[in-house]
Amino acid sequence: MPANRHLTTTVPLVLSFLLIPLTIAMAFLWTGEDADQGLSQKIFYFHVPIALTSYVAFGFGAVCAAMYLWKRTEAWDMRSYVGIHSGTIFGTLVLITGPIWAKASWGVWWNWGDRQLNVFLILFLYYCAYFMLRFSLDDGERRRAASAIFALLGIGLIPMSFLAVRIAQTLIHPTVFTAGGASMPNSFLLTFVVGLAGMLSLMVLLISVELRGKRTAARVLQLQRVQRGEDA
């Protein structure tokens, strides 16, 4: 399906290669310096989109997990796995960029009072466990079902972690978005949106490339079996 392939690979490839450099250019050349944080605020255009993208990828993984439990086809299991895999990659980036920002604006590498960082840490531990679970079960129906259930439990864990950290803590993350909308100049908001679009395209690209790789690998294995005469 070449049309489909263009939609999932070529389009996000072009978009992410355009939008991510554009974000860098906009962040440094167009937006003004933040009155409070100065230059260090620029990381906002990368850190926050990466974090949101990571949530989207985990969400995609969970939706595909639910689809797997419903349809029971291997394709959904593979999508779920790849979604969580790319969520974990973006999650690693969040845990790298977060402390850089924290060091620059608060003077410490890690702030236990920060809600988002703490929630992310919980989720990161959780999704790393997903890989341990998946790879210590033998390939088959059971492994796929167990992975899918674990991925779905994450849907419960995300809001629960937010609530728990909120209940347990008083210190507040710099609230850039409030209930009344974004409290920042339009140039900041636009750069942020471009950054988010760029990261989301990169995520779609990573997911579709990895999926294609996995499908090809599975197909090669199958052909090898046929060649050896094990499969009809």
Partner 1 sequence: MIGAALAIARVKLVLEIRRREVIFAMLLFIAATIVIVHFALSGDTGAGNRAAAGMLWAAIVFTAVLGLLRTFAAEHEGGVLDALLLAPIDRAAIWLGTALAQFGFLVVIELVAVPVWWALFFQGDGPSVGTVVLALLLADIGIALVGTLSAALALGARTRDVLLPVLVLPLLIPVILGGVTATYGAFGEDVGGLRPLGFLALYDLVFIALAWGTSEHLLGD
Nearer Cβ to partner 1 (22/133): 133
Strand partners, 38: 34
Measured CA distances, 145 to 11, 84, 138 (Å): 32, 15, 12
Residue at token pair 């029971």:
72
Q: Name the one range near partner 1 by CB under 8 A: 73-81, 118-126, 175-183, 218-226.
A: 118-126
Nearer residue to partner 1 within complex by CB, 24 or 137: 137
Residues between 46 and 105 with contacts to partner 1, criterion CB under 8 A: 69
Q: Does 179 bind partner 1 (CB under 8 A)?
A: no
Q: Is 156 an interacting residue with respect to partner 1 (CB under 8 A)? A: yes
Residue 133, token pair as written in the block: 């679970």
Taking the complex as a whole, how short is the minimal distance between the CB of residue 165 and partner 1, in angstroms?
Answer: 7
d(CA 68, CA 65): 5
The answer for residues whose C-beta is within 8 angstroms of residue 57's C-beta and 6 or more apart is: 83, 84, 86, 87, 90, 203, 207
Contact of 152 with 66, CB cutoff 8 Å: yes
- CB nearer to partner 1: pick between 138 and 230: 138
Q: In angstroms, give the least distance from the CB of 168 to partner 1.
A: 4
Q: Choose, by CB under 8 A, the member of 75, 100, 104, 157 that binds partner 1.
A: 157
Q: How many CB atoms lie within 10 A of CB 125?
A: 9
Stretch that binds partner 1, among 19-27, 98-106, 140-148, 192-200 (CB under 8 A): 140-148
Is the CA virtual torsion 45, 46, 49, 55 positive or negative? negative
**Residue 132 binds partner 1, judged by CB under 8 A:** yes
Provide the 10 A C-beta neighbour count for residue 94.
24
- What whole-number distance in Å separates Cα of residue 17 and Cα of residue 70? 36
Q: Which is nearer to partner 1, 90 or 120 (CB)?
A: 120
Q: How far is the CB of 89 from partner 1 (least distance, A)?
A: 18
Q: Is 203 in the site for partner 1 (CB under 8 A)?
A: no
Say whether residue 125 binds partner 1 (CB under 8 A): yes
Compute φ and ψ for 144, nearest 5 degrees. Answer: -65, -40
Question: Would you tell me which residues interact with partner 1 (CB under 8 A)?
Answer: 69, 122-123, 125-126, 129, 132-133, 136-138, 141-142, 145-146, 148-150, 152-153, 155-157, 159-161, 163-165, 167-168
